[in-house]
Structure 1
Amino acid sequence: MDKIPKTMKALVAYSKTDYRFEPEYPVPECGPDDILIKTEGCGICAGDLKCRHGAAMFWGDEEQPSWVESPFIPGHEFLGIVEFAGENVKDCVVGDRITVDQIAPCGECRFCKDGHYWMCQPHKIYGFFKDYCGGMAEYVRIPAKHSVIHKVPKEMPLQDALLIEPYSCSKHCVDRAQIGCEDIVVLSGAGTLGLGMITYAKLKTPKKLIVLDMIDARLEKALEFGADIVWNPSKVDVAAEIMKLTEGYGCDIYIEATGHPSSVTQGMQMIRKLGRFVEFSVFGAPTLLDWSIIGDRKELDVLGAHLSPYCFPFVIENIAGGKLKTDGVVSRFYSLEDWEEAFEYSTGKYGDFKVAFKF
């Protein structure tokens, strides 16, 4: 590591109220089991925003303990070039272009041992822990034994490569839905993750793929990415329209990808009996729902989707091959010094899908 600088630019979270750009933060020290990458880019996730704004699921409250371990460097949607690979590291050499699963599995808990590594009990995730700092820095240390590492084609444009992690989450969610060719599918939310779901769900050839969003520009993008029908719930009674389309039965599958409580209750209204409801989002507020609709009235399958297990290889191959659409999703790049503006634009309020840092 003699040629690697001692310091780097980094965004550091010291507490929920103290995020700082550090122009000379120490480059992580690496041992024989570590990889050090020079960061090429890092996307900003909704989870990064919610953590920045002090959400209890990250920093804790009177009902739950803090989950994050500060100080940490945010960012789990990153990739870069290997600058150092320890002597015990296998299948990875200096010069490789790599990314990693968001989860850093311990390898010892019951979930890791039975193949469900993404539900690892300690649940260390890149970008939220001081020992697993993320990609909002010029260098990232990757403990190889506790990381799921993937090679990224060198010729893949950065704006496409930055979608590998979010699209992998999208794929896992759609896989949970078990879409068949006779299914009428409603997908609520056409942000970055929703677009990833749309372009992948289209490969499943559902009978109809219907996308909902409150922003018309997102609905236009949803059509471009494969939606058959798009509706804006602020302008259309979407539940009534679904009933018209399905002879009063309702949709077969509803995928919730907005994180807004109204999208949950909306979905429960429009889904048919014995339907399948898949919840993906992280919520900023509680959802109130009469649970009898799940059991006594409709006998629904209600499923969750968390992270992106076993999805990266497919996503990398099919982004590279053009089967998963990416055009225009990464809409804005920032330098790390301008992180506050980058976080502001990544909210989507100015029309962006994905905002990222470029190094």
Structure 2
Amino acid sequence: MALPKTMKALVAYSKDSYKLEREFLVPTCGPDDIIIKTEACGICAGDLKCYHGAAMFWGDESQPEWVKPPFIPGHEFLGRVVETGDNVTEYKYGDRITADQIVPCGKCRFCRNGHYWMCQPHNTFGFQSDNNGGMAEYVRYPKTAVISRVPEDMALEKALLIEPYGCSKHAVDRAQIQCDDVVVISGSGTLGLGMVTYARMKNPRKLIVLDMKDDRLEKAKEFGADIVMNPGKENVVKNTLDLTDGYGCDIYIEATGHPSSVKQGLSMIRKLGRFVEFSVFGEETKVDWSIIGDRKELDVLGSHLSPYCFPFVIDNIENGNLKTDGVVTHMFDLDDWEEAFELASGKKGDLKVAFKF
């Protein structure tokens, strides 16, 4: 079946110019490529921070521009195969698939030693013109895309969480949770909730979740948190110290992207504790590094993307071990992208907001 020549797409031309195009060219399928018809695409905090001009995307006096405009945003997407290149044998028309955000080169040092998610060129869907994202009717998967099959009967509201929950899983895996650990997860948005439901599978001694919104804390309890606290209403550092005989939590996972959450974590984590930083920040964060070194000798670990996580996440969303109910709160037509971006900010209490095609 011949594809149309043009499609509807949201296009970022600069940090000050995002436009809905109705006649954007449909991607061409090369001999090693796959073209999918997009089924849906979630809006990530990274998409929002890029839209609002964060320097880590658009550059500033201390860092170069990372994005490559014009590009189509969106990396939390899935769809069905509508065209394959001559060299593609594993996938066929109609297959339902998704892919990791990273498009590894397959040649650099990191790709060769298995750390493909840290690929040196670091091309990703949704931020560069040669790897356009899912806020469009059609998307091209190149040869090196890390593709996973999506079950035919998986509800769209669940399938949309494969990519964010993959990121959640990697962050929790970095924390190396043991059964006698007191774990604090700061932030119970979509990614935080993914961490909560997966961390619950690790069965820590206590799973504590922090958020400024009480409705999100209720969802965290539903997903497996033992204790929830609102830093805007109570002294969460003192409470955590009181709960741990003054020592502090064993593990702190930061999933808010707010500088105050970093300082909060350094105050409530015990000596020799493990601090996992997941978030994308919209501004620089300053902390007293003597806490990390001289005072507490902490392990500070970063978490990036979702390497090797999709198969586990897909299986455990499907069997119900990873809870998803109520996380996708709104789906929009791409025509209403400005309203969707506004709700995706969480200002009105929404969690995951997505476009449905």
TM-score, shorter chain, exceeding 0.5:
yes
Using the size of structure 2 for normalisation, the TM-score is 0.99
Q: Which residue of 2 aligns with 1:197?
A: 195
Q: Which residue of 2 aligns with 1:57?
A: 56
Q: 1:206-253, CA deviations, whole angstroms, 9 ceiling, x for partnerless residues?
A: 000000000101000000010000000111111111111111111000
Amino acid at match of 1:134: G
How much has 1:288 moved relative to structure 2?
Answer: 1.7
For the aligned residue pairs, the C-alpha RMSD in angstroms reads: 0.7
CA–CA distance in structure 1, aligned partners of residues 49 and 308 of structure 2: 26
| Alignment match of 1:274 (pick from 244, 257, 272) | 272
Q: Which residue of 1 aligns with 2:66?
A: 67
Q: 1:305-349, CA deviations, whole angstroms, 9 ceiling, x for partnerless residues?
A: 000000000000000111100000001000001100000000001
After TM superposition, the structure 1 = structure 2 runs for residues 191-340 of structure 1, keeping only pairs within 5 Å, are 191-340=189-338
SS at 2:294's partner residue?
coil
Q: How many pairs does the alignment contain?
A: 357
CA–CA distance in structure 2, aligned partners of residues 225 and 335 of structure 1: 29
Q: Which residue of 1 aligns with 2:133?
A: 134
CA–CA distance in structure 1, aligned partners of residues 259 and 344 of structure 2: 21
Amino acid at match of 1:292: S
CA–CA distance in structure 2, aligned partners of residues 135 and 18 of structure 1: 18
How much has 1:45 moved relative to structure 2?
Answer: 0.2
The answer to whether the 8 Å contact 2:54/2:283 transfers is no
Amino acid at match of 1:64: Q
Q: Which residue of 2 aligns with 1:150?
A: 148
Q: Which residue of 1 aligns with 2:110?
A: 111
Amino acid at match of 2:356: K
The alignment-based identity, stated in percent, is 72
Q: 1:63-86, CA deviations, whole angstroms, 9 ceiling, x for partnerless residues?
A: 111111111100000000000011
Q: Which residue of 2 aligns with 1:102?
A: 101
Q: Does the alignment pair 1:185 with 2:183?
A: yes
CA–CA distance in structure 2, aligned partners of residues 293 and 52 of structure 1: 34
The answer to whether the 8 Å contact 2:11/2:21 transfers is yes
Q: Which residue of 2 aligns with 1:35?
A: 34
Q: Which residue of 2 aligns with 1:161?
A: 159
SS at 2:341's partner residue?
helix
How much has 1:286 moved relative to structure 2?
Answer: 1.6
CA–CA distance in structure 1, aligned partners of residues 284 and 67 of structure 2: 21
CA–CA distance in structure 2, aligned partners of residues 71 and 88 of structure 1: 29
CA–CA distance in structure 2, aligned partners of residues 95 and 261 of structure 1: 45
How much has 1:91 moved relative to structure 2?
Answer: 1.4
| Alignment match of 1:171 (pick from 169, 172, 177) | 169
How much has 1:90 moved relative to structure 2?
Answer: 3.0
Amino acid at match of 2:293: G
Q: Which residue of 2 aligns with 1:351?
A: 349
SS at 2:46's partner residue?
helix
SS at 1:78's partner residue?
strand
SS at 2:295's partner residue?
coil
**Structure 1 runs (4+) greater than 3 angstroms displaced:** none
How much has 1:43 moved relative to structure 2?
Answer: 0.1
The answer to whether the 8 Å contact 2:78/2:98 transfers is yes
CA–CA distance in structure 1, aligned partners of residues 323 and 300 of structure 2: 28
SS at 2:313's partner residue?
helix
How much has 1:16 moved relative to structure 2?
Answer: 0.9
How much has 1:54 moved relative to structure 2?
Answer: 0.9
Q: Does the alignment pair 1:6 with 2:5?
A: yes
CA–CA distance in structure 2, aligned partners of residues 280 and 293 of structure 1: 19
How much has 1:262 moved relative to structure 2?
Answer: 0.6
Using the size of structure 1 for normalisation, the TM-score is 0.99
Q: Which residue of 2 aligns with 1:79?
A: 78
Amino acid at match of 2:292: I
